[in-house]
Chain A
């Protein structure tokens, strides 16, 4: 962690009390984001990525959600100790968010210009007309063609890609964008539009000097966008490193499995079948104290089911949480080609 840290989360535990029992969605998670940096939070569906994001801007529905413990330090303030009102003021000014589903993330009964203008008016002393002009400006910034006209459109008149641009514009409405959380921003879009949206995000990040927390399960997106990567599995952080460390030297069995199953992997040049990680994601209701990946791991031993491993630092900034780290590193890189 450097002096430039914008956000740091320490030992976050988030539970959901459901009828079937307590779902431990996020466990002992710590991460940090430096100013101007893009951190990718990677993992499969249900591993706690979105819950982590929602812990930051406190959009976890409570009940049933409970933030059991931990701290979220944003620019020196612990957000978990802030009042609802203080957090509300941060949302949309310092912490903004774009969501996975552009098709349903805009309110269907308001013009998009009005929706954007409302964000301005919520945080700045601004007249409606002025706010609308600002909204048009933003639509131009996110490269929406003829923004003056589009501002008077309703969401259903726009395509998915356009709607995601509007969402991004909304997230940019704040004057001093600190952190933008992008929760799978391209998952619902087709591939060509994905590329455009990612380019746009990269472009804007430099323009307005913001940090980006990118939540995704797409390793291709990670490679293109991220500076650093945190890999999550079943609510736990299992590996953390720079994007080069993760791709060149993946060291946790789960990360290895993820990268092995990418179609772009060199070893699939002459093969038609993709290699999958055996087994299924564990039920978050019945997680024990051990490593949640143990039952799917080629290297698991008795100790793996008993306790969650401590941190093993491989290089500066590159760590994994694995009992059999040395063994995996020795053998894993071999299988990874």
Chain B
């Protein structure tokens, strides 16, 4: 098993090298001059030249590339052109917010999605099945920004049940350490201030549902078709003929087999959420990395864009690794090969 993990980790290196290279050249070839963006339209030629030299933009592309590779290996993504802060520091602040939101959205989507998928598979061709599958179709087709706005309108504005945005009530000031607010505020639970944690949780609910709806629908559909396939297998007849209770037959024997494709989907969707949460983050004023990269692109903030994309890609690749490892936990055949 350890050998397998090591093997997979070494296989990550060429992938990551490819990502870094691709990102560097894509940004370098994109039109637009960062020095011009920073200094404005009316900047003098000398000033522009000087800034380009400071940023290393006057050097040949190949040289820029090798310099960049050297720095990336040391996890140094340079300074943001816009804010002057090291990119890594900004990412450390922003990325946990996105990851926290994505994890909550995926928990919501996976638990509910798998459950709905199992129910519709076991009640195939009944109204329960039809309702949930039509629901899933609607869920997949619904634009996130529209769903988010409608949810804010109903649950925040009219019913006043949830906050409209942000990560925590602004009255609760604290200095975050990991920037995962649920983790950072957890200790206050036992220090007589549960409101910090509860507020962070409260702020997560609506964005998680908005972000998780599409994955929920996809997971439900995948689970259903996978379950239907498994329920037809000979070994299902075996456990039934052995008199095992139907609930156990479904949730232990069938589901464990049916989960294999579902886990792949969950992993892929999770990766997509990390990068694709821009809409949700914008609507819920969530200070995540999606929104940050979007702003960096607009500002031609090359180091920020490069660093952000590389970190998201790396996470994506790592999630895929975790999925593969989970696979081998569930499927003993993969483990032994």
What 0/1 pattern do residues 217 to 237 of B give for CB contact below 8 A with A? 000000000000000011101
Contact A90 B243 (CB under 8 A): yes
Decide: A119 and B256 in contact? CB cutoff 8 A.
no
Whether, in the assembled complex, A244 has its beta carbon less than 8 Å from a beta carbon of chain B, the answer is no
Query: Of residues B257, B331, B332, which shows the largest number of chain A Cβ atoms within 10 Å of its Cβ?
Result: B332
Select one of A104, A105, A109, A171 contacting B332, CB under 8 A: A109
Are B243 and A108 in touch, CB under 8 angstroms?
no
Hey, which chain B residues are within 8 Å of A170, CB to CB? 238, 242
**Min CB gap B305→A, angstroms:** 43
B71 at the interface (CB under 8 A from A): no
Known: A122-B248, A154-B332, A156-B333. A105 touches B242 (CB 8 A): no
Question: Cβ of A40 < 8 Å from any Cβ of B?
Answer: no
Alpha-carbon distance between A90 and B238 when the two chains are bound, in angstroms: 14
Q: Given A59-B241, A109-B256, A170-B242, A104–B333 Cβ distance below 8 Å?
A: no
- From A90, A101, A123, contact of B234 by CB (8 A): A101
Residues of A within 8 A of B239 (CB): 107, 115, 118
Within 8 Å by CB of B244, from A109, A118, A154, lies A118
Q: Mark A154-184, 1 if CB is under 8 A from B, else 0.
A: 1011000000000100110100000000000
Residues from chain B with a CB closer than 8 A to the CB of A137 are none
Are B330 and A119 closer than 8 Å at their CB atoms? no
Could you tell me the distance between the alpha carbons of A60 and B257 in the complex, rounded to whole angstroms? 22
CB distance from B124 to the nearest CB of A (A): 10
List A contacts of B235 (CB < 8 A): 104-108
Q: Mark B316-337, 1 if CB is under 8 A from A, else 0.
A: 0000000000000011110010
- Residue A291 lies at the interface, judged by CB distance under 8 Å to chain B: no
Q: How many residues of B sit at the interface, in one of the four size bands?
A: 20 to 34
Measured in the bound complex, the distance between the Cα atoms of B237 and A92 in whole Å is 12
Are A99 and B234 within 8 A (Cβ)?
yes
Complex: chain B residue closest to A103, CB-CB:
B234
CA distance A91 to B249 in the complex (A): 13
Nearest CB to that of A90 among chain B residues? B243
CB distance from B302 to the nearest CB of A (A): 48
> With contacts A105-B237, A154-B332 known, is A92 near B253, CB below 8 A?
no
A107→B240 contact, CB < 8 A: no
Instruction: Name the B residues within 8 Å of A57 (CB-CB).
Output: 241
A108 to B258, CA, bound (A): 11
- The answer for the CA separation of A167 and B245 in the assembled complex, in Å, is 18
For residue B246, CB closer than 8 A to chain A, the reply is: yes
Q: Which of B238, B245, B257 contacts A105 (CB 8 A)?
A: B238
A55 on interface, CB distance cutoff 8 Å: no
**Whole-angstrom CA separation of A97 from B237 in the bound complex:** 9
Please determine whether A104 and B248 come into contact, CB atoms closer than 8 angstroms: no
Given contacts A88-B246, A105-B234, A108-B257, contact A154 B333 (CB under 8 A): yes
Inter-chain contact B237/A59, CB cutoff 8 Å:
yes
Given A88-B243, A89-B243, A107-B257: A167 touches B238 (CB 8 Å cut-off): yes
A115 to B333, CA, bound (A): 17
A79-109 Cβ-contact flags toward B at 8 Å (1 or 0): 0000000001111110011010100111111
In the complex, A311→B250 CA distance in Å? 45
A90 vs B244: C-alpha distance when bound (angstroms): 10
- Partner of A96 from B241, B330, B336 at Cβ < 8 Å: B241
| Most-contacted residue by chain A among B238, B242, B248, B253 (CB, 10 A) | B242
Contacts of B234 in A (CB 8 A): 99, 101, 104-105
Whether A268 is near chain B, meaning CB under 8 Å from some CB there, is: no
CB-CB under 8 A from B233, the residues of chain A are: 104
Hey, which chain A residues are within 8 Å of B253, CB to CB? 107, 110
* Partner among A96, A106, A109 whose Cβ is within 8 Å of the Cβ of B331: A109
Given A101-B234, A104-B234, A154-B332, CB of A109 within 8 Å of CB of B242: no
Question: Is B330 in contact with A109, judged by CB distance below 8 angstroms?
Answer: yes
Contact B243 A122 (CB under 8 A): yes
Chain A positions within 8 Å of B, measured between CB atoms, are 57, 59, 88-93, 96-97, 99, 101, 104-110, 115, 118-119, 122-123, 154, 156-157, 167, 170-171, 173
Task: Please list 17 pairs of residues, one from A and one from B, whose beta carbons are closer than 8 Å in the complex, sorted by A's number.
Answer: A59-B240, A59-B241, A88-B243, A91-B243, A92-B241, A97-B238, A99-B234, A106-B235, A108-B333, A109-B330, A118-B239, A118-B242, A119-B243, A122-B244, A154-B332, A167-B238, A171-B242
10 pairs of A and B residues whose beta carbons are closest in the complex: A92-B243, A91-B243, A92-B242, A97-B241, A104-B234, A154-B332, A107-B235, A119-B242, A105-B234, A105-B238
Excluding A91-B241, A115-B239, 9 further A-B contacts by CB distance (< 8 Å) are A88-B245, A91-B240, A92-B241, A99-B237, A99-B241, A108-B235, A109-B331, A118-B244, A122-B248
